[in-house]
Structure 1
């Protein structure tokens, strides 16, 4: 294996865990069954998150912001139940 191929392989392996964190599978339910964005935002607020960005990401509601303790947070929510599916807190 050439040096160039080794470097490419190493770069791809380094990126693999990041790509896996980016996707969450939150629900298979159709969007008609999702809670409204306003209701989800109210639930997130009640959980104590300060939201910088709120968005639909695949089959999830996703936020970027801070926990009530002030730690940075990326959180994926099931849009039907409002439960946290995946979170990354720094």
Structure 2
């Protein structure tokens, strides 16, 4: 399954009150899914797309809560058909401590 197919299936019910916001979300999610460890400035090279990405993130109808809610709903739905589910969790963290030399 491609990233695009997975995103469409995972977030099929997501709504932001405007089809353009939804389309932009899927467009940006497709781009970021290919390079999840990079910043917006590295992933989105075109200035107009960069500006559109920041506009999307700051729009009053757009929120990470909506994205996480739909992701939880899709995950819960998938788990209904499984007898066993593994939850992998990375609890590691990095600490940056600067010492005077």
**TM-score range normalised by the length of the shorter chain:** under 0.3
If the length of structure 1 is used for normalisation, what is the TM-score? 0.22
If the length of structure 2 is used for normalisation, what is the TM-score? 0.20
Higher helix share goes to which structure? 2
